[in-house]
Chains A and B, each alone.
Chain A
């Protein structure tokens, strides 16, 4: 089965740029989606199809995907961005949805 690997944690100071990676075998050939989850809340889609943003998501959130790594980039990080972030792909070979293990973003 397809596996997505994320770092358990990322820390960044306010105003700086956070980069959260998602590794997978030839993930660049797949569409990657990213979710933000704050404590006690359901996940919220922040980036879909590698780099598109749903309406209402700030432009500070962006994504890229190439080779074996997809990246969620959060520019000008704010305290309110502190949350868990998950990447997700659809594995066509198994017709299963796959999530990464999640990354806790801490704003220092």
Chain B
């Protein structure tokens, strides 16, 4: 069974940092690209960042570029998001999700349950 379990969320002050993790199981992790998608309270889905299977291709939404860093450790079946210089508008539920672009599958077929990040003083 495919499982994606996010962790690391919490309450953080503006300007501070936070690191999210996503533990993957039930599939061959390094066969897939991985992504972070967030959802602010009462709002829609926003793609944040994605990373290819070998970390050779990385992308960021304009809203987080220069502040957030995505990474993965295939040996640990884990995905990470280092979030620096956090702002109130980064407050959201952060989901981990996978795609399979090597097979031409650019859709998110599995999602985690999310970890909540609240940026407030």
Contact = CB atoms under 8 A, between A and B. Distances in A.
A and B co-occur in one complex: yes
Nearest to A8: B44
A45 B108 CA distance: 7
Nearest to A34: B107
B106 A99 contact: no
Interface stretch (B8-16, B19-27, B111-119): B111-119
State the majority secondary structure of interface residues on A: strand
B114 A97 contact: no
Query: Which residue among A42, A48, A96, A99 has the maximum number of chain B CB atoms within 10 Å of its CB?
Result: A42
Contacts of A95: 57, 59
B44 A102 contact: yes
State the majority secondary structure of interface residues on B: strand
B111 A49 contact: no
Given A86-B44, A99-B45, A54 B109 contact: yes
Interface in B14-43: 35, 37
Interface in A18-69: 31, 33, 35, 37, 42-45, 48-49, 54
B35 to A, nearest CB: 7
Interface in B63-121: 95, 99, 101, 105-109, 111-114
A42 B113 contact: yes
B45 A86 contact: yes
B45 A45 contact: no
B35 A97 contact: yes
Interface of A: 1, 31, 33, 35, 37, 42-45, 48-49, 54, 84, 86, 88-90, 94-102
Interface of B: 35, 37, 44-47, 50, 57, 59, 61-62, 95, 99, 101, 105-109, 111-114
Rank and list the top 7 A-B pairs by shortest CB-CB distance, nearest first.
A90-B106, A33-B107, A97-B47, A102-B44, A42-B111, A48-B107, A99-B45
